[in-house]
Structure 1
Amino acid sequence: MLNISNLAKSYGPVRVLTGINLEVKPHDVVAVIGPSGSGKSTLLKCINFLEKYDEGEVRFGGRLVGYTENKGHRRLAPEHDTNRLRAQMGMVFQNFNLFPHMSTLENIIEGPIQVKGVSRDEAIAHAEQLLEKVGLTAKRDVRPTKLSGGQQQRAAIARALAMRPEVMLYDEPTSALDPELVGEVLTTIRDLATEGMTKVIVTHEMSFARDVATRIVFMEAGRIVEEGPPNKIFTNPDNARTREFLARVLHN
């Protein structure tokens, strides 16, 4: 579903991603872990081309994301082509980015109606199913300012799912939440993971990553240092830096 080859990204003179190679197959749940500043969020944004990458390539369903190629030359793809691919990748951000002047339901139906041309009745019917799934049926007509942080993030998850994406990308979905609200969001994502949707999750929640992921990717200084199944990475990692990171994080 996703194939990332030799991906590199810089901000001016600062190299933030180097030589990233990663394959995500259908139904994979890939948890990306690592210290702050290791390039995890930038990797997600390159996947759906919210950030332009400088070298290498990202392919989604075999299609090059963000660029077109002709006789060995690469140029930016037309925006509508990139948007068409983005519509198949749901994105949940650290901050919820809900429209404050819209109700929870209106936030969820806006994308399907405006981007996919879904009828309002169909969009509402699907949104109500999603509200039930994320436990927000009672908040259908409430605006985001009246929701807790955990409720806002669950609404954001429902909004992303409303586009019927083929893959979900989560960028530290609990980092902006108070500690007592983290559990409800992780429970929602964990429940959705059992349904088989492909997911790439950047997270600092190690126990959650161990429970939910089919594969762990550990990043350090813009590189993938190690990857493997959770039982291998969390109990017997090969790389010394992975062992050091996990020992410190799990101890804390």
Structure 2
Amino acid sequence: MMTLSLIGIGCGDPGQLTRAAIQAVNAADLILIPRKGTAKSDLADLRRTICADVLTKDTTRIAEFDLPVRDAGEADYRKGVDDWHDAVAAAWSQTIADHTGTEGRVALLIWGDPSLYDSSLRIARRLNPLPKIEVVPGITSIQALCAAHALPLNDIGEPFLVTTGRRLREGGWPEGVDTVVVMLDGGTAFQSLDPDGIHIWWGAYLGMPDQIIISGALAEMGPRIVATRQDARERHGWIMDSYILKRRPEARQHAP
């Protein structure tokens, strides 16, 4: 029976790999590296660097494949994602079959952690035959963002909510919380909010040499983040960012 290991590798710094992650990489017979197009070649390069740094045996094979692109024009968001997951699962299955068949240990190096806003586990369960699935946790972008800003995520005894840019833009500030973590924001959804009384901690390319962080009152820092984000995207051809929003006590009292 084949074993598929989903290995969290952190957010860009090879030093974020745990010992368990290094052991799992070395236990693999085959490591899959997805290619996301030339604009995101940095992500594949990092995975190659990790393999070169931590692999201690020369029998492990590395296979690269082109990752299917989600149809952003699909009107039904969930159907678009579902179809995309089917396509990715097919790409995984074909690459595995081409290199190792139905037995052995296969590994995928997962950006951040497989448990948080990552579809690897859902995709893995679409493989046929279904492999034994193992997960090695990694440092998430939320942890890396908090560390970069030396910021405790939650206030004492208070909850926080993790959401997406799309949901923040469509639904506004979530009810019942004063701390919101925003991931997978293809733009700058914070611009849809009334900035009064809101503080932002933003970061892009977290853990990578080109890491950028900005924090401050949203009313002041929002325009600066928008400009910085646009410039960085033009220079790199892609951007991966996240941010934390907090409301001050006086803003909570006047919230609807």
Fold shared, TM-score > 0.5 on shorter chain: no
The structure, 1 or 2, with the larger RCO (C-alpha pairs under 8 Å, 6+ apart) is 1
Q: Compare CA radii of gyration and give the structure with the larger one.
A: 2
